[in-house]
């Protein structure tokens, strides 16, 4: 039985377990376990789990969303996993493979409150996204997606998970949830799904961001988002 740790990165609560998908009898068993563990109506609850194999020189990791689906990468989850790997190896930096890429994690400064921070080199933003596909084309900056909201303009990016981003003049949480659920319900339009973020410029000069993540729903934060 492997130890399952619970950590958080920017309030994304992520489980970390030294297991691999091969440790489960079947893919169905794996997905059922992830759904049970991450179910917030159950005994635990979380935004996903990173399984990892610590034995290779570059540890290999697999991320699963609360609904049991897999993702190439989770930014805040990778920082949680990075803390575990760095502590195990007694090092200040390490590379970890997740999906098709390697990510570098490093120890950051300790805050006055004693929080040991972990930094992550995010991958480059790709503006030629693999998804979504609308009317036979990939929408880029300023695309109208009537399937979601005809009044908004969306930018589609890959980081490396697919994202849709829209600028709004007012944040309405129920609208974001409804749009996120429409993305989930339309695999014909969004074959790989998408994390959906809305951005609201504030008078302070800051930007408010909220994300509806594929396979997870509304979350407290999203690293790549």
Do 216 and 66 meet the contact criterion of CB atoms below 8 Å apart?
A: yes
Of the listed 14, 49, 148, 222, which one is catalytic? 222
- Given a contact cutoff of 8 angstroms between Cβ atoms, the answer to whether 214 and 195 are in contact is yes
Q: Is the CB of residue 101 less than 8 Å from the CB of residue 159? A: no
Instruction: Compute the distance between CA of residue 145 and CA of residue 21 in angstroms, rounded to an integer.
Output: 36
Task: Pick the catalytic residue from 7, 14, 37, 74.
Answer: 74
141 within 8 A of 155, measured Cβ to Cβ: yes
Q: Is position 222 annotated as part of the catalytic site?
A: yes
CA gap 30, 7 in Å, rounded? 20
Cα dihedral value 209, 212, 213, 216, nearest 10:
130
Catalytically active residues, by annotation:
74, 222
């Amino acid at each position: 039985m492997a130890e399952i740790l619970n950590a958080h990165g920017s309030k994304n609560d992520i489980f970390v377990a030294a297991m691999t998908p091969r440790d489960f009898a079947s893919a169905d068993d794996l997905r059922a376990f992830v759904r049970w563990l991450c179910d917030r109506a159950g005994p635990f609850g979380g935004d996903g789990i990173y399984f990892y194999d610590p034995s290779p020189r570059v540890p290999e990791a697999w991320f699963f969303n609360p609904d049991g689906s897999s993702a190439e990468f989770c930014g805040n989850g990778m920082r949680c996993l990075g803390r575990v790997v760095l502590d195990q190896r007694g090092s200040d930096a390490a590379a970890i493979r997740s999906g098709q890429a390697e990510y570098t994690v490093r120890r950051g400064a300790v805050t006055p409150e004693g929080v040991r921070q972990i930094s992550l080199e995010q991958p480059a933003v790709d503006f030629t996204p693999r998804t979504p596909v609308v009317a036979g084309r990939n929408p880029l900056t300023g695309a109208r997606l009537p399937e979601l909201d005809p009044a908004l303009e969306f930018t589609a990016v890959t980081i490396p998970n697919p994202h849709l981003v829209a600028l709004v003049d007012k944040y309405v949480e129920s609208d974001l949830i409804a749009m996120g659920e429409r993305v989930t319900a339309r695999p014909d339009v969004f074959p790989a799904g998408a994390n959906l973020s809305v951005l609201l410029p504030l008078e302070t000069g800051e930007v408010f961001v909220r994300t509806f993540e594929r396979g997870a729903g509304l979350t407290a934060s999203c690293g790549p988002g």
